[in-house]
């Protein structure tokens, strides 16, 4: 009942592409472009404490950027 894997070939890695949806845009994370906004959303004034767990050790934008970059 075993299958030979002698001719097995892997698949290519996924390509990096931006996906546009009706309510969301999914794109590769770029710390230089997204770091400030992510830090503000996760740790800045008025941030949702339920989201802050992602960067709970980051105390500055640079620290958050180094965690994602």
30-42 per-position pLDDT tens digit: 999 988 888 887 7
3-61 per-position pLDDT tens digit: 888 899 999 998 999 999 999 999 999 999 988 888 887 777 777 777 765 444 555 55
38 contact partners, CB below 8 Å, separation of at least 6: 55, 64, 68
Burial (CB < 10 A; 0-12, 13-18, 19+), residue 40, is middle
Containing 65, the helix (H) or strand (E) segment is: helix 61-68
């Amino acid at each position: 009942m075993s299958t030979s894997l002698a001719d097995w070939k892997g698949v290519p890695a996924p390509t990096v592409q931006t996906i546009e949806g009706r309510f969301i845009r999914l794109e590769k994370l770029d710390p230089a472009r997204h770091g400030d906004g992510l830090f503000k959303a996760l740790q800045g004034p008025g941030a949702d404490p339920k989201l802050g767990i992602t960067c709970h050790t980051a105390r500055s934008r640079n620290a958050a950027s180094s965690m994602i970059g």
